[in-house]
């Protein structure tokens, strides 16, 4: 407290003590003033106007902070109450679910946590469980549906139906293999189409079948015969060999049929076909005869790819080509010792009018029966006197023109003279 403040307080108290005989109103005023001084002494100090103003602003700031803290506390209390209320509701809901689960257990229903797929006898409709399994199990679900579909005849076409027909033939997969992702794709597309037509009111037929795979099956069965019986198909004869093929098909061909059923393909299995059965064989024979009569197919002399082991002609797509640059011994089926390939064989064609002979070199001397000309390089001085002349085929007497080609003929390879067959005759002099 400052010195001036103490002096003022002392005078006011002295005045109060010695002026007690004043009127009551004045005494009251004096008492109020003394009371004020007493309160000021105990509660605070008398300060100047500028000091009082600064303190008030600080108090206001403190008060504002206190109010904000109070609001934050209230908000926290409200959130805590809401969370507690929510937890209480969840506990009540969980207790209700538990009560329902216990009630179901008391009633003898299955517990989802202990789900077991009910066993379905083969061919009967799938038995459904009261509770759903936690996850989809295709083995448990699909193994019972298809046998029931097939036994119920849901995919069998009615030959006497008045509905409009819709027929698809399954492209027959090879009996020697198994279905892959490509088969799965096309089967799924066809199955979608046939089911859509079936639901649209059509009398649908999807014909299943397998291809005998010709040479592939023949090779497999021949190896089996040689391994088990030390026999060839020629030893057995045609009929006995075909019988062996059918046995092999019945034993190993079921893989594809099982795969098609696993895919859920809605095929009419009562019309299953095999390309070697009697109906299909007769149909193929009839088709070839009709095409031959109409002149659309014919027989002629042509160079073919002959298989020495299968003893049959095969297509270009079944031939593996190997480039050989020099004399190379290779193993050939049916030969005990390796056969030399890439060997140039030289032989001479006689020239007309007694002009002598011309020697050609080739790796395939056996094709000389089909030769139609002899090609030389126009700048090769060895044969310049033969331009426009003819050679004579030694076996059939055919005249072979000597032609010039500066692109295809290499004068430094072999004898410099190249024999020409009919399908590669494109030379000019």
DSSP secondary structure of 178-201? ---HHHHHHHHHHHHHHHHHHHTT
Q: What is the pLDDT of residue 351?
A: 94
| Residue found under tokens 């038995």 | 127
Q: What is the pLDDT of residues 89-139, one digit of tens each?
A: 877 776 666 666 655 555 544 444 566 777 888 778 888 777 777 888 887
Exposed e or buried b per residue across 9-24, where buried means at least 16 C-beta atoms within 10 angstroms of its C-beta: beeeeeebeeeeeeee
Would you kindly state where each structural domain of the chain is located, as residue ranges? 3-46, 111-151, 153-293, 328-424
d(CA 391, CA 400): 5
Q: Which residues contact 127 (CB under 8 A, 6 or more apart)?
A: 118, 119, 120, 144
pLDDT level of residue 27 (50, 70, 90 thresholds): very low
Average pLDDT for 19-31: 41
In the predicted structure, residue 31 carries a pLDDT above the cut 80 = no
User: At residue 394, does pLDDT exceed 60?
Assistant: yes
pLDDT tens-digit map of 209-218: 988 877 788 8
d(CA 262, CA 187): 11
Q: What's the pLDDT at 306?
A: 85
Cα 220-225-227 angle, rounded to 5 deg: 95
Could you tell me the sign of the dihedral formed by the alpha carbons of 82, 88, 91, 96, in that order? negative
**What percent of the chain is helix, strand and coil (3-state, nearest 5)?**
50, 15, 35
CB 391 within 8 A of CB 349: yes
Q: Which helix (H) or strand (E) holds 395?
A: none
Least confident of 220-224, 301-305, 352-356: 301-305
Mean pLDDT for the stretch of residues 299-321? 83
CATH of 328-424, one of 3.90.740.10, 1.10.10.10, 3.60.21.10, 3.40.50.2300: 3.90.740.10
pLDDT of amino acid 99? 64
Tokens for 151, please give them.
């036994």
Q: What is the value of pTM for the model shown?
A: 0.50
Sequence-distant (6+) residues with CB within 8 A of 197 are: 166, 204
Please tell me the predicted confidence (pLDDT) of residue 350: 94
Taking Cα atoms as reference points, which of 374, 410, 375 lies closest to residue 394? Answer: 374
How confident is the model at residue 134, as a pLDDT? 81
Q: What is the pLDDT of residue 9?
A: 47
Give the model's confidence band at 45: pLDDT under 50 very low, under 70 low, under 90 confident, else very high.
very low
Report the C-alpha gap between 267 and 206 in whole angstroms. Answer: 5
Angle at the Cα of 170 from the Cα atoms of 167 and 176, rounded to 5 degrees:
160
With 70 as the cut, is the pLDDT of residue 417 above it?
yes
Residues facing residue 205 across a β-bridge = 167
> How, if at all, do strands 209-210 and 339-341 pair?
unpaired
Other Cβ atoms within 10 Å of 4 Cβ, number: 9
**Domain 153-293 fold:** Rossmann fold (3.40.50)
Residue 33: band (very low, low, confident or very high) from pLDDT cuts 50, 70, 90: very low
Res 96: pLDDT: 67
Taking alpha carbons only, the member of 153, 147, 186 closest to residue 170 is: 186
For 390, residues 6+ apart whose C-beta sits below 8 A from its C-beta are 351, 352, 399, 400, 401, 402
Residue 309 CA to residue 219 CA, distance in Å, equals 10
pLDDT for the residue numbered 316: 86
Q: Is the pLDDT of residue 146 over 50?
A: yes
Select the more confidently predicted residue: 41 or 230.
230
According to the model, what pLDDT value does residue 288 have? 94
Highest mean pLDDT (candidates 1-10, 89-98, 128-137, 223-232): 223-232
Q: pLDDT, tens digit, for every residue of 154-164? A: 999 998 999 99
pLDDT reported for residue 174: 86
C-alpha to C-alpha distance for 277 and 420, rounded to whole angstroms: 45
Helices (H), 154-307: 181-199, 214-229, 233-236, 238-252, 254-262, 278-293
**Is the model more confident about 343 or about 21?**
343
**Tell me, what's the pLDDT at 37?**
42
Q: How far is CA 188 from CA 184, 191, 194, 260, in A?
A: 6, 5, 10, 10
Tokens of 45: 């100090």
* Mean per-residue pLDDT of the chain: 80
């Amino acid at each position: 407290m400052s010195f001036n403040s103490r002096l003022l307080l002392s005078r006011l108290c002295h005045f109060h003590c010695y002026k007690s005989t004043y009127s009551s109103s004045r005494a009251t005023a004096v008492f109020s003033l003394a009371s004020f001084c007493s309160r000021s002494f105990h509660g605070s100090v008398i300060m100047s106007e500028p000091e009082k103003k600064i303190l008030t602003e600080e108090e206001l700031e403190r008060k504002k902070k206190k109010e904000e803290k109070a609001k934050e506390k209230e908000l926290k209390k409200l959130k805590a109450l809401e969370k507690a209320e929510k937890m209480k509701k969840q506990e009540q809901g969980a207790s209700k679910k538990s009560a329902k689960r216990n009630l179901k257990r008391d009633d003898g229903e299955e517990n989802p946590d202990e789900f077991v797929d009910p066993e379905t006898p083969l061919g009967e409709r799938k038995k459904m469980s009261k509770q759903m399994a936690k996850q989809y199990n295709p083995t448990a679900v699909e193994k019972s549906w298809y046998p029931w579909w097939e036994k119920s005849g849901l995919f069998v076409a009615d030959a006497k139906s008045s509905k409009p027909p819709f027929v698809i033939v399954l492209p027959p997969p090879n009996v020697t293999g198994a279905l892959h992702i490509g088969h799965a794709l096309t089967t799924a597309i066809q199955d979608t189409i046939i089911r859509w037509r079936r639901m649209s009111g059509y009398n649908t037929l999807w014909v299943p079948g397998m291809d005998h795979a010709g040479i592939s099956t023949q090779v497999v069965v021949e190896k089996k015969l040689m391994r088990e019986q030390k026999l060839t198909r020629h030893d057995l004869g045609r009929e006995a060999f075909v019988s062996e093929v059918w046995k092999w098909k019945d034993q190993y061909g079921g893989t594809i049929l099982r795969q098609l059923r696993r895919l859920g393909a809605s095929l009419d299995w009562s019309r299953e076909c095999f390309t070697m059965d009697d109906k299909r064989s007769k149909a193929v024979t009839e088709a070839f005869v009709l095409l031959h009569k109409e002149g659309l197919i014919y027989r002629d002399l042509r160079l073919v790819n002959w298989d020495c082991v299968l003893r049959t002609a095969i297509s270009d797509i079944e031939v593996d080509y190997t480039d050989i640059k020099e004399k190379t011994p290779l193993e050939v089926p049916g030969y005990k010792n390796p056969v030399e390939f890439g060997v140039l064989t030289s032989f001479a064609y006689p020239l007309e009018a007694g002009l002598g002979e011309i020697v050609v070199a080739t790796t395939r001397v056996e094709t000389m029966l089909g030769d139609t000309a002899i090609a030389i390089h126009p700048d090769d001085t060895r044969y310049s006197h033969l331009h426009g002349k003819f050679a004579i085929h030694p076996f059939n007497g055919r005249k072979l023109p000597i032609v010039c080609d500066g692109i295809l003929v290499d004068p430094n390879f072999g004898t410099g003279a190249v024999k020409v067959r009919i399908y590669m005759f494109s030379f000019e002099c």
